[in-house]
Copies of this chain bind each other. A is one copy, B any other.
């Protein structure tokens, strides 16, 4: 463990979560909930297996991650965030906000996983008419497993997996989905470029994108 050796809150935080892959491990656990080792591996394309083991050990020592035996149906251990680890959510959210302008284009070599959309969806969408019955939108990005978002008390909640009775379904390449979620594209613009939209057109309009990149209210 290399440390900055500074009596400064920023430096001490980076001592814990500043190494390579550490915050992405936290991202996976925040988005997917408790995970097996191989779940994490699949959510972190390109990570060396020894590094994943190292990071999990270090994060466990730091009180960010807890390892526990799973319930009988599952034979293997699960890794989950502690309360202290959950408190990293605002850090991740600010990283997402700052990174929004970097999402305009996707590279040929870039990997993509659909659950990475969930934090942006929760951050940048809101329910404009929370008094009406809740709605659910399923998102099918590229050939990835589906995810869905649902309104809950004025906010928007994102979850992995398919929706039971979606009011709308978005299908298309990642950058179009991202364009809509981050507020850079309207649904109409995205449809013109190849996004497919099934269901009531009013559904997604209801989840108006907030200020996309800069000018966040706070």
> A96 → chain B, closest Cβ, in Å?
4
Does A91 reach chain B (CB closer than 8 Å)?
A: yes
Does A23 reach chain B (CB closer than 8 Å)?
A: yes
A13-B98 contact given A4-B46, A106-B7, A110-B6, CB 8 Å threshold: yes
> A127 → chain B, closest Cβ, in Å?
18
Q: Mark A101-115, 1 if CB is under 8 A from B, else 0.
A: 011001101111100
Complex Cα–Cα for A88 and B102 (A): 14
A6-B102 contact given A91-B94, A95-B14, A218-B90, CB 8 Å threshold: no
Q: Are B24 and A102 in contact (CB under 8 A)?
A: no
Q: Are A92 and B10 in contact (CB under 8 A)?
A: yes
Complex Cα–Cα for A112 and B4 (A): 11
* A interface majority secondary structure: helix
Q: How many copies, total?
A: 2
> A120 → chain B, closest Cβ, in Å?
6
Does A174 reach chain B (CB closer than 8 Å)?
A: yes
> A21 → chain B, closest Cβ, in Å?
8
Q: Are B16 and A23 in contact (CB under 8 A)?
A: no
Q: Are B6 and A112 in contact (CB under 8 A)?
A: yes
Complex Cα–Cα for A200 and B109 (A): 63
> How many residues from A make CB contacts under 8 Å with B?
50
Q: Are A214 and B87 in contact (CB under 8 A)?
A: yes
Does A100 reach chain B (CB closer than 8 Å)?
A: yes
Complex Cα–Cα for A20 and B103 (A): 23
> A178 → chain B, closest Cβ, in Å?
8
Q: Are A120 and B24 in contact (CB under 8 A)?
A: no
Q: A7-B178, A13-B95 are in contact. List 7 more A-B contacts (CB 8 A).
A: A5-B109, A8-B116, A9-B116, A10-B116, A12-B103, A14-B24, A91-B95
Provide 13 A-B residue pairs closer than 8 Å at the C-beta atoms, listed in order of the A residue: A5-B111, A6-B110, A7-B116, A9-B96, A9-B116, A10-B27, A10-B119, A11-B24, A12-B102, A13-B95, A14-B24, A18-B18, A91-B95
